[in-house]
């Protein structure tokens, strides 16, 4: 026990040791925080430094305007557009599935279901997120595609549509779980205020709870978008790995991530242009994800200001 | 579409109890209530009349069941499972028991408005807050909504303060302004009865005085049932007062009588500050 009868002087060993202890703890925390910053900087450094030689062979103009991406062909073409468009298409289809279903699921779990049923349903839903994405890939290829072919006979074996839908199912739990937390943290007194004005439960949920929770829900959507942009296996397996500048979801395509695994699986010599193209593709994806996150952050701040 | 449940100008049913001059708006008979089947009754066979265009105050020590009784009037308890009512609250002039299982609680709440103890505006604009009740009733005509918003904000004594910033966020208003906004929000739907649960307990004395004044003013248009901790408030505003104690309604009468010549010892003890 410290002696509490007198105040210590500034040079008292107890005081000195206290100061040193504080400094040590502060340094440890600082280093921990710094390490993640270093990793990020390291990743960016590698991506950029490996990408620079690529642009000595290929002009930036060709990179953004060329309509074909065929680094493996003898007459190689390096237009990133097919991969960017494929990535966007797959993400868009995934979000068309995941945002409505994820939001409705969240609203149901947060507002409608009794607590004991909710505790039962949530682990089942979270299992969707625990399934390895390779499994989802084959689920798309062997289960969803054949079903889609019943309705769309012109659909081939590989398509962005099938990959996108399954990717959407895969990210439902990410969206629903965060959205549900946001909705549940809306105070009860707002629900009561709404009910007291004669609202139905549905009106209360979508006119009061949803907008009040929107800043949290938008974080869930941003996470969903990031997951979809970065998802690899489902598209690699089910979308056909054929870079294809087309807005038709029934056609096969490739995405940036799918291209990266495709090339990484082969044995390209280090320093070859094909090898460098992986880094360029990765850098492009990083920039795309960054733009989305900044956009999302901006939307979120706009909404928080209004509250 | 534009139809709103309007209180009729005069209620038809004459009440035989009490002064005999006032018209009956609602009648509570033998109302008992439980939050849970296993728990004790929080209200024991409570009976009281609610007169049209009058202020009825519910007073009594903390935990005696005032809020619980008030929330029976708009079936608020139906939002939670396991709650159960016995007895009636008959609403006049329809003469329907609004606690009956055949009545949709939502339709009750369309007719009976409520203001809560803590101001609870929606995180929306001032305009959207007052328009909310109209919008959930399916009203879309902007001119009608605008007119209604102005009228209810005037009634709630808030119009002059907010008329230039209806698009500002309601949560940026002061506590007293927020509570008046909540009153305007309830008034916009033309309730037959307005329930107020200690509407000034979270406010400073000036805001409290402001709200008391406006409550007395709006009683020309709407019947009011108010729960209050503040006995002076009840004595100043209420036409009728009922004293509750541990889930029982001990005494009901014109406020003057309750505050000057209480019949029951427990009422007397309470209003003279001997307990509670
Ligand atoms: N949600 C609830 N569940 C169970 N018991 C409750 C609940 N709300 C209030 N009670 C109990 O009901 C009694 C009356 O409470 P209340 O009506 O809030 O009293 P008052 O408004 O007069 O202070 C109290 O004993 C309280 O503990
Ligand atoms: Mg209370």
Q: What secondary structure does DSSP assign to A284-299, as a single string? A: HHHHHHHHHHHHHHHH
**The domain containing residue A6 runs over which residues?**
2-56
Which pLDDT band, with edges at 50, 70 and 90, does A76 fall under? confident
The pLDDT value recorded for residue A181 is 94
How far apart, in whole angstroms, are the C-alpha atoms of residue A180 and residue B256? 52
Helix B175-187 and helix A188-196, axial crossing angle in degrees, nearest 10? 30
- Quote the CA–CA distance of B258 and B243 in Å, as a whole number: 8
Pocket of ligand 1 contains residue B191 by CB under 6 Å: no
C-alpha R_g of chain A: 25
Residues A51 and A74 in one domain: no
Structure tokens at B46: 């409570």
How many structural domains comprise chain A? 2
- Ligand at minimal distance from the CA of B249 is 1
Residue of the CA atom closest to atom 12 of ligand 1: B42
Closest Cα to atom 8, ligand 1: which residue? B68
pLDDT in the model for residue B145? 96
Specify the CATH number for the domain of residue B233. Answer: 3.40.50.300
By Cβ distance, the residue of B118, B169, B185 closest to A197 is B185
Determine whether the shortest distance from the Cβ of B35 to ligand 1 is under 6 A. yes
Closest-CA distance, A174 to chain B, in angstroms, reads 26
**pLDDT score recorded for residue B3:** 31
What is the total residue count of chain B? 276
User: How many angstroms is it from B52 CA to the middle of ligand 2?
Assistant: 24
- Chain A residues within an 8 Å CB radius of B169: 306-307
What confidence score (pLDDT) does residue A262 get?
87
Cβ–ligand 1 distance for B8 under 6 Å, the answer no
CA quadruple B138, B144, B147, B151: dihedral sign: negative
- Whether residue B6 is contained in a domain is answered as no
A302 touches chain B (CB under 8 A): no
Q: Answer positive or negative: Cα dihedral of A8, A14, A15, A18.
A: negative
Residues A96 and A228 both lie in one domain: yes
Nearest atom in ligand 1 to B62's CA = 23
pLDDT at B13: 37
Residue B22 β-bridge partners: none
* Record: contact A192-B137, CB cut-off 8 A: no
In a domain, B5, yes or no: no
Alpha helices by DSSP H, chain A: 13-51, 54-57, 60-65, 81-107, 115-130, 133-139, 145-151, 160-184, 188-196, 201-203, 210-212, 214-230, 233-238, 256-265, 273-306
Predicted local distance difference test score (pLDDT) of residue B6: 33
- What is residue A93's three-state secondary structure? helix
Ligand 2 center to B62 CA (angstroms): 7
CB contact under 8 A, A203 and B136: yes
Q: Could you read off the pLDDT of A166-183 as tens digits, one per residue?
A: 999 999 999 999 999 999
Instruction: Based on the fold, state whether residues A71 and A27 are members of the same structural domain.
Output: no
Q: How confident is the model at residue A307 (pLDDT cuts 50, 70, 90)?
A: low
User: Tokens in use for A98?
Assistant: 């995941």
Q: Which of A198, A211, A307 sits opposite B136 (nearest CB)?
A: A198
pLDDT of amino acid A297:
86
Does residue A17 sit in the same domain as residue A154? no
User: B64 CB under 6 A from ligand 1?
Assistant: yes
Query: Chain B within 8 Å of A199 (Cβ-Cβ)?
Result: yes
A93 with A44, same domain: the answer is no
Nearest Cα neighbor of B242 from B228, B117, A67, A153 is B228
- Predicted pLDDT of residue A296: 86
The edge-to-edge listing of strands for the beta sheet with B43-51 is B43-51, B24-34, B84-91, B96-97
Contact between B118 and A203 using a beta-carbon 8 Å cutoff: no
A205 interfacial to chain B (CB closer than 8 Å): no
Residues in chain B with pLDDT values less than 50 = 1-18
DSSP-derived 3-state class of residue B33: strand
Q: At A7, is the pLDDT very low, low, confident or very high (cuts 50, 70, 90)?
A: confident
Instruction: Quote the domain boundaries for residue B19.
Output: 14-267
Task: Find, among B50, B49, B95, B32, the residue nearest to B193 by Cα.
Answer: B50
Q: Are strands B112-115 and B193-197 parallel, antiparallel or unpaired?
A: parallel
Q: Which residue of A193, A212, A306 is in closest CB contact with B116?
A: A193
Question: In terms of pTM, does the model score above 0.80?
Answer: yes
Query: What is the reported pLDDT for A265?
Result: 81
| Nearest atom of ligand 1 to the alpha carbon of B197 | 21
Residue B31 lies in a domain: yes
The answer on A247 and A299 residing in a single domain is yes
- Structure confidence by residue, pLDDT tens digits, A248-304: 888 888 899 999 988 888 777 777 888 889 999 999 999 999 998 898 888 888 877
Q: In degrees, to the nearest 5, what angle opens at C-alpha B131 toward C-alphas B125 and B134?
A: 155
Give me chain A's average pLDDT, please: 90
Distance of CA A279 to the CA centre of its chain: 20
The residue out of A37, A56, A75 marking a domain boundary is A56
Q: Which atom of ligand 1 is nearest to the CA of B71?
A: 17
Q: Does residue A214 sit in the same domain as residue A89? A: yes
Put simply, the answer to whether A195 touches B79 (Cβ < 8 Å) is yes
Q: Residue A212 maps to which CATH number?
A: 1.10.3720.10
pLDDT tens digits, residue range A23-53?
Answer: 999 999 999 999 999 999 999 999 999 899 9
Report the 10 Å Cβ neighbour count for B214: 18
Is the domain of A153 the same as that of A251?
yes
Residue of chain A minimizing CA distance to B78: A195
Task: Work out the percent of chain A whose per-residue pLDDT is above 90.
Answer: 59
**A117 with A188, same domain?**
yes
Is there a single domain that holds both residue A186 and residue A288?
yes
Could you identify the atom of ligand 1 that is nearest to the CA of residue B80? 1
Pair (A9, A157) in one structural domain: no
A197 and chain B in contact, CB less than 8 A: yes
State whether A9 and A78 are in the same domain.
no
**Tokens 């709103």, residue located:** B4
Rg of chain B, C-alpha, whole Å: 18
The total of structural domains in chain B comes to 1
Q: Do A197 and B133 touch (CB under 8 A)?
A: yes
- Please report the pLDDT score of residue A143 as a whole number: 94
| Nearest ligand atom owner, CA of B41 | 1
> Quick check: is B28 in a domain?
yes
Residue B187 lies in a domain: yes
CB B59, CB B245: distance < 8 Å: no
ipTM of the complex: 0.89
């Amino acid at each position: 026990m410290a002696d509490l009868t007198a105040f210590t002087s500034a040079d008292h060993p107890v005081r000195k040791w206290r100061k040193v202890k504080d400094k040590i703890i502060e340094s440890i925390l600082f280093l921990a925080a710094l390490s993640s910053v270093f990793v990020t900087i390291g990743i960016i450094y590698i991506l950029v430094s490996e990408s620079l030689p690529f642009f000595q062979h290929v002009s930036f103009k060709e990179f953004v305007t060329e309509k074909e991406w065929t680094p493996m062909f003898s007459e190689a073409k390096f237009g990133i557009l097919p991969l960017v468009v494929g990535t966007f298409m797959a993400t868009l289809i995934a979000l068309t599935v995941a945002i409505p279903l994820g939001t409705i699921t969240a609203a149901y779990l947060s507002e409608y279901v009794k607590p004991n049923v909710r505790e039962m349903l949530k682990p089942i839903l979270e299992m969707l997120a625990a399934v390895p994405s390779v499994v989802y890939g084959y689920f798309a290829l062997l289960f969803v595609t054949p079903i889609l072919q019943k309705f769309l006979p012109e659909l081939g074996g590989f398509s962005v549509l099938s990959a996108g839908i399954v990717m959407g199912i895969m990210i439902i739990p990410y969206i629903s779980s965060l959205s549900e937390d946001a909705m549940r943290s809306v105070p009860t007194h707002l629900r009561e205020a709404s009910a007291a004005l004669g609202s139905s439960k549905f009106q209360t949920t979508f006119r009061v709870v949803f907008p009040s929770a929107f800043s949290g829900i938008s974080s869930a959507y941003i996470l969903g978008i990031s997951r979809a942009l970065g998802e690899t296996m489902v598209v690699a397996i089910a979308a056909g790995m054929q870079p294809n500048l087309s807005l038709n979801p029934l056609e096969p395509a490739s995405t940036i991530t799918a291209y990266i695994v495709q090339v990484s699986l082969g044995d390209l010599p280090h320093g070859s242009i094909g090898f460098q193209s992986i880094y360029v593709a990765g850098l492009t994806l990083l920039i795309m994800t960054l733009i989305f996150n900044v956009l999302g952050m901006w939307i979120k701040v706009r909404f928080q200001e209004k509250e | 579409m534009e139809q709103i449940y309007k209180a009729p100008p005069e209620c038809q049913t004459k009440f035989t109890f009490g002064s005999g001059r006032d018209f009956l708006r609602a009648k509570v008979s033998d109302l008992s209530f439980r939050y849970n089947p296993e728990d004790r009754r929080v209200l024991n066979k409570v009976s009281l009349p609610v007169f049209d265009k009058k202020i009825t105050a519910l007073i009594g020590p903390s935990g005696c069941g005032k809020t619980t009784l008030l929330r029976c009037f708009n079936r608020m308890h139906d939002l939670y499972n396991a709650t159960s009512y016995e007895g009636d609250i008959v609403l006049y002039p329809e003469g329907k028991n609004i606690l009956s299982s055949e009545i949709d609680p939502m339709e009750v709440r369309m007719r009976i408005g409520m203001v809560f103890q803590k101001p609870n505006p929606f995180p929306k604009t001032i305009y959207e807050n007052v328009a909310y009740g109209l919008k959930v009733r399916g009203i879309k005509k902007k001119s009608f909504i605008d007119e209604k918003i102005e009228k209810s904000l005037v009634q709630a004594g808030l119009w002059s303060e907010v008329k230039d910033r209806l698009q500002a966020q309601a949560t940026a208003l002061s506590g007293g302004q927020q509570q008046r906004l909540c009153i305007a929000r309830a008034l916009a739907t033309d309730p037959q009865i307005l329930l107020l649960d200690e509407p000034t307990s979270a406010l400073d004395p000036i805001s409290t005085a402001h709200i008391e004044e406006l409550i007395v003013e709006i009683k020309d248009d709407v019947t009011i049932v108010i729960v209050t901790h503040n006995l002076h408030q009840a004595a100043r505003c209420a036409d009728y007062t009922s004293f509750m104690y541990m889930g029982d309604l001990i005494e009901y009468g014109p406020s003057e009588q309750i505050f000057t010549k209480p019949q029951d010892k427990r009422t007397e003890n309470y209003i003279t500050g001997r307990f509670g």
